[in-house]
Structure 1
Amino acid sequence: MIRNSIVLFAASLLMFSCSTSKQVRNDRKMVDGTWTLDNVGYEGSEGDFKAQLFDDASAVCFEGSTWFFRNNNSTGNYTIQPGSLCSGGQRNIRWSIIENQGGGEQLQFKYIDEKKNDIYGKQGYRLDVVSLAPSQMTLKSNVTVEGDPVSVIYEFSRQ
């Protein structure tokens, strides 16, 4: 009887330690669906930037891209329109929202293939959630350009 109680206690402790917060679950539900990346901007330094985002394409190629997030299995994709500067097409991703150590939240994703297998192992990307509302989402990533900190701001609207 005591042994069963210990096993039950250990299992419940493990289950609760791995669970996500109510806020993260609510935000995952809010992100679920289709979004358009309307604008990619920069903060923290003056000048013009030529950025390659997510080891994929130029920032200008991402403006107008369509992002789809499926909450029930944490998969999705984004689609870049083809153009003279952009190699268009759909990229499959696995995504989640996590709580970072500073108390905020981050959207993280990594590339997957059609069979939902990781393409680059553990390599992925994390974006700070600046704001999240039913029709608008703003994400931010911090980078360094020539030794100076720069924030890349991603402004989305729900389709």
Structure 2
Amino acid sequence: MKKTVVLSLLISLLFMSCSSTKAIREKRNLFSGTWILNNVSFEGQPGTFKAVLFNDASDACFEGSNWFFRDNNSTGRYTLDQTASCNGGDRFFRWSVIENDYGTSQLQFKAIDEKRKDISSGYGYRLDITSLTETSMTLKSKVTENGSPISVVYEFIKQ
């Protein structure tokens, strides 16, 4: 009787772990490729906001940026256009898709150099995956401004 209960528990744990792994794999496959970040917006508070995203550049610099995700080695890059107010060029990152403690999926990434060495001192970013299809993706990050929560919304279109 004990062996049957223990065996049943082990089998059910195996099925649960495989199903979440499969869901993560499917999302990784959807991420793979080139995306254009066509809109950055803010939700949660009225007014107009300006923000420095990913400790890199202003939100305006990110609109129109090109993002590439390679799923076979979990690396990628985003490219900002060079303008008078934006320092353009490629930024490289290592990325993954995770399930957080609340059961939702997130994209996490951290900065690396061209040789795939960590340049972020272990610091990275997590964005909630609110929508992901073969052609579009919406990510959100939660921040606080003057003690009030705000969500930064990133809308992508796949190339």
Same fold (TM over 0.5): yes
Instruction: Indicate the TM-score class for this superposition, using the shorter chain for normalisation.
Output: 0.7 to 0.9
The 5 Å alignment of 1:27-106 reads 27-106=27-106
5+ residue gaps in structure 1?
1-16
Instruction: Report the CA distance between 1:122 and its aligned residue.
Output: 1.2
Instruction: Report the CA distance between 1:121 and its aligned residue.
Output: 2.1
Q: Which residue of 1 aligns with 2:121?
A: 121
In the aligned structure 1, how far is the partner of 2:139 from the partner of 2:120? 23
TM-score, scaled relative to structure 1 = 0.87
Q: Which residue of 1 aligns with 2:7?
A: none
Report the secondary structure of 2:27's partner residue: helix
**Structure 1 residues 59-112: Cα deviation after superposition (integer angstroms, max 9, x where no partner):** 000000000000000001000001111000000000000001111000010000
5+ residue gaps in structure 2?
1-16
**Structure 1 residues 109-134: Cα deviation after superposition (integer angstroms, max 9, x where no partner):** 00001110100221000000000000
One-letter identity of the residue aligned with 1:21: T
In the aligned structure 1, how far is the partner of 2:20 from the partner of 2:34? 23
One-letter identity of the residue aligned with 2:36: T
One-letter identity of the residue aligned with 1:50: K
In the aligned structure 1, how far is the partner of 2:120 from the partner of 2:138? 26
Say what the alpha-carbon RMSD is for the aligned residues: 1.8
Q: List 4+ stretches of structure 1 deviating above 4 A.
A: none
- Identical counterparts, % of pairs: 58
Q: Which residue of 2 aligns with 1:10?
A: none
In the aligned structure 1, how far is the partner of 2:50 from the partner of 2:74? 31
In the aligned structure 2, how far is the partner of 1:139 from the partner of 1:39? 11
